[in-house]
Structure 1
């Protein structure tokens, strides 16, 4: 079995504010569909692993008596706490820790969600842990969304080329390890989950159009691990100017339209486990 790629633990340092403001939320229809299929009791716990700034924890919180929001980056969990306080939400518990090191008793959760991050974790280990942490009949949902530079439109190809140029100029090309997706190609997520005993319950897809402004794209890019604010540093204004120059000719009414794809893959722990 192919080994997993190691990601540096501090790749998202300094991104939390941009992550919270410029990452697109999961659509309401997807959240409602996940809740319908997972069927939480309303009295259980939710675990949001690699939670970011709570893109899943907050919209799902109403169906759980307790929510754990876990991330390795202190800036992320600090912002989750601040948001919970501002919203007068008292049942979200933040934990700053590696998912692999999380101290959890068996059968503690009804639902575990991982948003855009399973590939960054030790998948085999996390799958085994998640299986043990879930109550019988509980679910694990791997949630995903596409990136604005990963599409077929002219402006998306232009953006992808621009980002690669800046990663090279700033010496940031290696922040995302080369071949990071090879282990998933050789050993797909659904095989990893099946091996530890999960019953697969399908991939459920949703999409929606989003009109980006160039300034919003600049903020979104600052939420990434490869061109974060610490990486851009004193060349941030230069990057923004280059972004506007390259994307400006593609913008209609100052907007760049993208059809964003969202999906979640659901796996269930057997009720007899």
Structure 2
């Protein structure tokens, strides 16, 4: 789990927290009930970014150790936490590769928001087995990913057409270190110490304006300002024109957004 070359994640920082859809509050309510979070626990947020999982969890536990390999993301997380008056967060520069050397200490939960595919999953699960308490769990959370059973909003085809006009096919893949893994996370988990899997999800409708749709694209690594480079202005102009042509009445761009969690626990002894 390393920063992308060229500062791709760093350049998404001004857009990430503002335009990415927030995790559904029902996720945090479920974790609170499921693990009896009462303000006394410690949680690790690995690949914390600007704190989309960190900040809501901080109100439920004693301490969240928020680890990310991108200094700019950590700085943004600190800023957002200070603005919201949220404490109890230990922001640390690091990654899955440095985890065992970071003296994190025992944690009840490790949460990861769409970052598991950036890691050596088998090694990370072995390392987490040494950190997560016996009754604890690993929680893999995503928000806004595409799903076969969710009809994509019609305006998304407009965005994809603009992407194809401005980006090469390899960049559009948005791949991790070796591309998105062929083996699903659940299969890797079933062969790990955390082989007992629970899956939950919640759907809700998110409405956006043109500026929000453009900002959302700039929050992705493959259409980040660094990735677009000198072509950023042309990309934004084309996208705005195309979206306005699609919705000339000035209406909103609605989307059904799913928050999904894979909760992985050790099997009963």
TM-score range, shorter chain: 0.7 to 0.9
Q: Which one of 111, 114, 127 corresponds to residue 112 of structure 2?
A: 114
Deviations 1:137-159 (A, max 9, x none): 00110001224899533311221
Deviations 1:93-149 (A, max 9, x none): 111112221235586101110001111111111111122210010011000122489
Aligned equivalents of 1:173 and 1:6: distance in 2? 19
Q: Which one of 215, 238, 263 corresponds to residue 234 of structure 2?
A: 238
Instruction: Please give the secondary structure, in 2, of the residue aligned with 1:15.
Output: helix
TM-score with structure 2 length normalisation? 0.87
1:41 is displaced (CA, Å) by: 4.5
Task: Name the Cα RMSD after superposition.
Answer: 2.8
TM-score with structure 1 length normalisation? 0.86
The equivalent of 1:142 in structure 2 is 140
What is the 5 A alignment of 1:55-94? 55-94=52-91
1:254 is displaced (CA, Å) by: 2.8
In structure 2, the gaps of 5 or more residues are: none
The equivalent of 1:8 in structure 2 is 4
1:175 is displaced (CA, Å) by: 5.8
In structure 1, the gaps of 5 or more residues are: none
Structure 1 contact 213–256 (Cα < 8 Å) conserved:
yes
1:84 is displaced (CA, Å) by: 2.4
Aligned equivalents of 1:66 and 1:271: distance in 2? 27
Aligned equivalents of 1:179 and 1:233: distance in 2? 23
Moved more, 224-233 or 134-143: 224-233
Structure 2 contact 45–112 (Cα < 8 Å) conserved:
yes
What is the 5 A alignment of 1:166-205? 166-168=166-168, 172-173=171-172, 176=175, 180-181=179-180, 183=181, 185=182, 187-205=183-201
Instruction: State the number of aligned residues.
Output: 264
Aligned equivalents of 1:190 and 1:136: distance in 2? 20
1:219 is displaced (CA, Å) by: 0.8
